[in-house]
Structure 1
């Protein structure tokens, strides 16, 4: 990449991969976006329910939809949302009738994790592959990254919708590594969930970076701010473990 300040030594880091939810995208802002959408839905559809009741129905329905999947099988979030809306309204609402309002609520409400956009941009100044490994719907993941102004900084974006599986399925990490053309032992994966992100990466031979994830033997590094990844790639080199 242009402007690199790395030496290019054979034992330098080759890649940094990011999860989206909880690492780039603030999850609390997502919840706020959903609440905003549901409040609008109740008003537009004149539903006889409180916002609190709608939120509970939404969480129960969408959560149940994801819990019913077979192992690491991919299930589209938009299909879960579709079921949640139907449960609240009491009848099926065509997807084309609600997707624009949903997108508007999300676009106007979601926020990035503090420091994440800056860290991603500054990583592009180094001789590294910068990628995404996320369980999001593919198009939705792209919209989130574009909303935060970082889409152009990623060299690859690996989503569960494209792969057909979710983390910690090895296919997610193997696909990302193959696409990037990098060695797992010289790659970092930043995630907020231990089993899915950190241990999944470790099982694939990568170095797991915990950002809010619980402790465990797979944690190679722990950061309190996304900006701390810059210190790791600049000051550390991959271990031989």
Structure 2
């Protein structure tokens, strides 16, 4: 664990901070994103086979990613858009016609559940944080049900005191409403709260802009980084 420039002027008279809460992003911090990509690739391959799509799996995966990427890029600023709606468009773009959700969603969910993996050390760290007397929360740009299902799958849902998702708030990070909603739920002050994320502008700077402390885990460097950790376990060093 290392401290960034943002940590220097946020100490009390004894040089310590009385932490009240720590908030986690999900993707890239709790959830290993490469395992998600693998799950989507497996689903697309099965989709092509089932519907006898006349293209290569590689081309279909590219269509999937492009369609979903365009869907999110077309949103208005930090407006929330459901990932499920994006996946539905991806299925349609690959098959060439609209496929009812009831036909593809069950298998999609099955593939994702069997393939996704947590970041090494994240579940154990979250469990240990639950014994620290801190508010442990989530602030994530996910569909509400999907985010909760991932946490359940990794066996950590019970350790979180609050979960704040973009679907609930209607906005995505770095919109202040995401962080302010989470802080209000936790009834904690931003200056005594940490936010751990893998994206500088969205997670780290977004949190710092409302007065929180940003913890970078794989995120770019910048003046908003109060702390940098190389593994989830590094968070324990900060709070202890």
Q: TM-score, normalised by structure 1?
A: 0.92
Partner of 1:182: 188
Quick one: distance in 1 between partners of 2:22 and 2:68? 31
Quick one: distance in 1 between partners of 2:201 and 2:109? 30
Deviation per residue, 1:15-49 (Å, 9 max, x gap): 00000000000000000000011111111111111
Q: 3-state SS of the aligned residue for 1:108? A: helix
1:56 aligns with 2:62: yes
Partner of 1:237: none
Partner of 2:173: 167
1:127 aligns with 2:133: yes
Partner of 1:238: none
Partner of 1:3: none
Quick one: distance in 2 between partners of 1:46 and 1:206? 51
Q: CA deviation at 1:11?
A: 4.8
1:76 aligns with 2:93: no
Q: Which runs of 5+ in 2 are unaligned?
A: 1-15
Q: Displaced runs of 4+ in structure 1, greater than 6 A?
A: none
Partner of 1:94: 100
Instruction: Find 1:103's aligned residue among 109, 112, 115.
Output: 109
Q: Which runs of 5+ in 1 are unaligned?
A: 1-9, 235-241
Quick one: distance in 2 between partners of 1:96 and 1:25? 26
Quick one: distance in 1 between partners of 2:200 and 2:192? 20
Quick one: distance in 2 between partners of 1:46 and 1:155? 46
Deviation per residue, 1:81-120 (Å, 9 max, x gap): 0001000000000111111010001001000000000000
Partner of 1:214: 220
Deviation per residue, 1:112-141 (Å, 9 max, x gap): 000000000000010100000000000000
Q: TM-score, normalised by structure 2?
A: 0.93
RCO greater where, 1 or 2, for CA within 8 Å and sep 6 or more?
Answer: 2
Matched positions, count: 226
Taking the TM superposition and a 5 Å limit, the aligned residue runs for 1:116-155 are: 116-155=122-161
User: What is the alpha-carbon root mean square deviation over aligned residues?
Assistant: 1.1
1:229 aligns with 2:222: no
Partner of 1:22: 28
